[in-house]
Chain A
Amino acid sequence: MRTLAGTGTLIRFILRRDRFRLIVWIGAVVGLMASFAATSVDLFPTPESLQARASIMDSPIGVAFSGPRIGLDDYTYGAYLSNEYVGFLAVTLALMSVFLVVRNTRLEEQTGRSELVRANPVGRHAPATAALSVVVGAQILIGVLLALLLPGTGLDLSVEGSWLFSAAVVLVGIVFAALTLLIAEISSHSRTAVGYAATAVGAAYMIRALGDIEDSALSMVSPVGWAQATRPFVDDVWWPLLLFVVSGVIVTWASFVVATRRDFGEGLLASKPGPGEASPSLGRPLGLAWRLQRGLLVGWGVGMFVLAATYGGLVKEVETFAGENPFIEEALAAIGGGSLAESWASMLGFMMMALTASFVVQAILRLRAEEIAHRAEQVLATPVERWRWMGSHLLVAAGGTVVIALLAGFGFGLSAGSATGEWSWIGTMIGATMSHFPSVIFVAGFAVALFGLLPRLTYLAWVLITIVWIGWLGVIVGLPEWVSNLSPFGHEALVPANDLNLTSFGVLSAIAVVLVVAGFLGFQHRDIGTA
Chain B
Amino acid sequence: MPEAILIKGLEKSYGTIKALNGLDLEVATGEVHGFLGPNGAGKTTTIRILLGLLQADSGSAQLLGGDPWEDAVGLHRRLAYVPGDVELWPNLTGGQAIDVLARLRGGVDEKRRDELLERFDLDPTKKARTYSKGNRQKVALVAALASDVELLLLDEPTAGLDPLMERVFQDYIFQAKTAGKTVFLSSHILAQVEKLCDRVSIIRLGEVVESGTLVEMRHLTRTTIEADTSRPATGLAGIPGVHDVVHDNSRVRFSVDGEHLDGALRELNQYGVRSLVSHPPTLEELMLRHYGDEVEPVEEVATA
Contacts and interface: CB of A to CB of B under 8 A. Distances in A.
Contacts of B102: 283
B53 A271 contact: no
Chain A interface size range: 35 or more
Nearest to A282: B100
B127 interface: yes
A385 B125 contact: no
Interface string B72-96: 1110110101010111111111011
A272 B95 CA distance: 14
Interface string B28-59: 00000000000000000000100101110000
Contacts of A381: 51, 53, 76, 79, 81, 83, 153
B99 A283 contact: yes
Contact of A274 (B54, B96, B100): B96
A292 B92 CA distance: 9
B203 interface: no
Contacts of B81: 378, 381
A366 to B, nearest CB: 11
A382 B125 CA distance: 23
Contacts of A292: 89, 91
Interface stretch (B103-111, B178-186, B192-200): B103-111
A527 B48 CA distance: 9
A381 B91 CA distance: 21
B103 A378 contact: no
Interface string A498-531: 0000000000000000000000000001011101
Given A189-B129, A383-B104, A385-B73, A274 B93 contact: yes
A316 interface: no
A277 B96 contact: yes
A63 B124 CA distance: 49
Contacts of B74: 383
Interface in B8-23: 14-15
B100 A273 contact: no
A382 B93 contact: no
A384 B96 contact: no
A379 B106 CA distance: 12
Interface stretch (A139-147, A253-261, A322-330, A369-377): A369-377
Contact of B127 (A271, A378, A531): A271
B95 A375 contact: no
Nearest to B99: A278
A288 B104 CA distance: 10
Interface in A374-403: 374-375, 377-385
Interface string A262-276: 000000000111111
B126 interface: yes
Given A189-B129, A276-B125, A382-B105, A282 B51 contact: no
Nearest to B117: A276
B278 interface: no
B178 to A, nearest CB: 25
Contacts of B92: 274, 278, 282, 291
A291 B128 CA distance: 15
Given A278-B95, A378-B81, A381-B53, A188 B130 contact: yes
Interface string A356-377: 0000000000000000011101
B140 interface: yes
A278 B96 contact: yes
A155 to B, nearest CB: 47
Contacts of A380: 51, 53, 72
B89 A274 contact: no
Most buried by B among A283, A377, A380: A283
B101 interface: yes
A527 B55 contact: yes
A378 B83 contact: yes
Contacts of B73: 383-385
A21 interface: no
A288 B97 CA distance: 10
Given A373-B87, A378-B140, A285 B104 contact: yes
Contacts of A277: 95-96, 99, 124
Contacts of A276: 93, 95-96, 124-125
A12 interface: no
Contacts of A382: 76, 101, 104-106
Most buried by B among A275, A278, A375, A377: A278
B83 A374 contact: yes
Contacts of B123: 273
Contact of B100 (A271, A275, A278, A529): A278
Contacts of B106: 382-383
A375 B76 CA distance: 16
A189 B89 contact: no
Interface string A412-444: 000000000000000000000000000000000
A191 interface: yes
A273 B129 contact: no
A528 B95 CA distance: 26
B46 to A, nearest CB: 14
A108 to B, nearest CB: 16
A273 B125 contact: yes
Contacts of B126: 271, 273-274
B104 A379 contact: yes
Contacts of B105: 382-383
A217 to B, nearest CB: 40
Given A274-B125, A282-B99, A383-B105, A377 B76 contact: no
Most buried by A among B14, B55, B89: B89
Contacts of A288: 100, 104
A378 B101 contact: yes
B166 to A, nearest CB: 22
Q: Which 9 pairs show the lowest CB-CB distances between chains A and B?
A: A283-B103, A278-B99, A276-B95, A273-B125, A276-B124, A382-B104, A274-B93, A381-B81, A278-B96
29 contacts: A188-B130, A191-B90, A191-B129, A274-B92, A274-B95, A274-B125, A275-B96, A276-B95, A277-B96, A277-B99, A278-B95, A278-B103, A284-B104, A285-B104, A292-B91, A373-B87, A375-B89, A377-B83, A378-B86, A379-B104, A381-B79, A381-B83, A381-B153, A382-B105, A382-B106, A383-B73, A383-B74, A384-B76, A528-B54
Given A291-B92, A375-B87, 14 more contacts: A271-B129, A274-B95, A275-B96, A282-B96, A282-B103, A283-B102, A288-B100, A292-B91, A374-B85, A374-B87, A377-B53, A378-B86, A382-B105, A528-B48
Interface of A: 188-189, 191, 271-278, 282-285, 288, 291-292, 295, 373-375, 377-385, 525, 527-529, 531
